[in-house]
Structure 1
Amino acid sequence: MRRPHVRALALTAVAAVMPLASPAPAAADRVVIGGYPVEISQSPWTVALASRDRFGGTRAGQFCAGAVIGRSTVLTAAHCLGEEALGAPLGQIRDLKVIAGRGDLLGDEGKEIPVRAVRVNPAYDSHTNAGDAAVLTLTEPLPASSVIRTAGSGDAAYRPGTDAVVYGWGDTTGRGDFAHALRAARVRVLSDSVCAEAYPDSAEGKYLADSMLCAGELDGGRDACQGDSGGPLVAQGRLIGLVSWGNGCGRAEGPGVYTRVSGAITELGAGR
């Protein structure tokens, strides 16, 4: 069974997965983990990763998310493509697709586009979670309007206190209530010192500022969760992070940790 910090939706049944997840936060009656519903037209660069062969058709096979950074290029989390998350080696997944332009996984709008090639960050470290990024190349291009700009190193969008939004189809309460429609949550970028104190070096992982950033609320309540992995964290109209890992969901002492996009782009050579 997968390690508890991984925020991909595991192949095992939800009932088996949830003992590894945190209890619902105290604020869950007011602010669910996923925050609020959002139309896909408001974030056309948010896509679902799907495999019906591995995850069934109930939610179109969705198991992770990603962000469109080029017309045929999607950035996602490396751990989404590992055997631990997929339940089989990546090479055995014959129907890996990206679902674009579809906010409700139960609908039929948008496109399901096969993935032509996968490049996992060679610097990815599954122990510390550093470099948790991968690039998917699609078999056909998406409209230019689906592409989001990425924030480079030193961009003001990374500054602590910056308002940001995270998107995904994952667990909305911390109790295995997976969304079928796209949701978003407002969070704030937190300082590296706060993140390093929360994750010095433990079973969950180790915070490394060069390849990570964290975001949330100091008192908890808003966060990404299982099933949101690889999903975009956006600030000031630019992609700054990918949902990566954390200690539970929505905990005050365990902010969400995201792959720092500027580092991932450099390591993967994934410019548009």
Structure 2
Amino acid sequence: MRRPFVRALARPLVLAAAAAAIPLASAAPVAADSVVVGGFPVDVSDSPWTVALASRDRFGGTRAGQFCVGVAVSRSTVLTAAHCLSKEVLGEAPEQVRDLSVITGRTDLLSGRGQEIRVRGSWVNPAYDGVTNAGDFAVLSLAQPLPASAVIAMARAGDPAYLPGTPALVYGWGDVTGAGDYPRSLRAARVHVLPDAMCRQAYPGSGEGRYMPASMICAGEREGGRDACQGDSGGPLVAQGRLIGLVSWGTGCGRAGNPGVYTRVSEILRTMGWRAAVRGHRTDR
């Protein structure tokens, strides 16, 4: 089995051609017009809580500096993946990235629509384990508030949205084929919540990361073909109108037998005491 990858850009995307140079595990073939991997284009008004994480200083202006995705869970708070704020991705600590921002209300990253809002503070889960990929979440606080309509509710433990078989949508601006093809416009893919046993079998913990059902959720299609991919990290997995997961990791993109793995939102709520995490554990910029 190939090594999995976390689903953030792992080096600066200075030129469009640079995307093709990012090393990826191979993916199952998908149609040329596939998006997110096996998905379709959407307008950001369909998912106004989906924001792009950006730094032109680090990733260039080709795609407005987009390198990961985030989810607005309050008017001034965005969730994303912990690995998105790692030195491996950013090259330095997030508080040292001068122009770290979120792009909101913008479908096409190079359009003039929406806003670019400075990240005022960041907090990365100190329990994040880069070996198992457990605890892969971080909190960003914004310098100015988002509209109330741009916020999504988080699904708590016991919510039926977590049940296997539940249809879900994953959103992002990431690789559309698994071969370094990065679009400018927002995409979504229809997936299903999958049984924990399927991800346990795919990721038993022998060097590929370990699936831990208490803190992770498994989603995709049994036959593969629809999935998040590199550049979608931190993006929302939404079911029944509620946020149930954050794009985290997986082997390849859209491969049969290797579903996408997401950080389970109910576990974020349980372990952190949500409001305490937002108010008391951030590094102001």
Task: Indicate which of 177, 198, 217 corresponds to 2:181.
Answer: 177
What is the CA distance between 1:17 and its match in structure 2? 1.1
For 1:14, the equivalent position in structure 2 comes to: 19
TM-score normalized by the length of structure 2: 0.90
For 2:224, the equivalent position in structure 1 comes to: 220
Deviation by residue 1:102-148 (Cα, 9 ceiling, x = unmatched)? 11101011110011111111221111000100110001100100000
**1:189 maps onto 2:193 in alignment:** yes
What is the CA distance between 1:28 and its match in structure 2? 3.3
Structure 2: how far apart are the matches of 1:203 and 1:86?
A: 24
Structure 2: how far apart are the matches of 1:15 and 1:37?
A: 21
Q: Which stretches of structure 1, 4 residues or more, deviate above 4 A after TM superposition?
A: 29-32
Structure 1: how far apart are the matches of 2:52 and 2:20?
A: 22
TM-score normalized by the length of structure 1: 0.94
What is the CA distance between 1:34 and its match in structure 2? 5.2
What is the CA distance between 1:27 and its match in structure 2? 4.0
- Number of aligned residues: 268
Please list every run of 5 or more consecutive structure 2 residues that lacks an aligned counterpart in the other structure.
13-17, 279-285
For 1:136, the equivalent position in structure 2 comes to: 140
For 1:44, the equivalent position in structure 2 comes to: 48
User: Does structure 2 conserve the Cα–Cα contact (< 8 Å) formed by 1:216 and 1:222?
Assistant: yes
For 2:63, the equivalent position in structure 1 comes to: 59
Structure 2: how far apart are the matches of 1:170 and 1:151?
A: 24
Report the aligned-residue RMSD. Answer: 1.5
**Residue 9 to residue 233, structure 1, CA distance change in 2 (3 Å):** same
User: Does structure 1 conserve the Cα–Cα contact (< 8 Å) formed by 2:164 and 2:194?
Assistant: yes
Q: Is the partner of 2:6 in helix, strand or coil? A: coil
User: Does structure 2 conserve the Cα–Cα contact (< 8 Å) formed by 1:121 and 1:267?
Assistant: no
**1:78 maps onto 2:82 in alignment:** yes
User: Does structure 1 conserve the Cα–Cα contact (< 8 Å) formed by 2:72 and 2:79?
Assistant: yes
User: Does structure 2 conserve the Cα–Cα contact (< 8 Å) formed by 1:116 and 1:137?
Assistant: yes
User: Does structure 2 conserve the Cα–Cα contact (< 8 Å) formed by 1:28 and 1:221?
Assistant: no
Please show how residues 181-260 of structure 1 align to structure 2 within 5 Å.
181-260=185-264
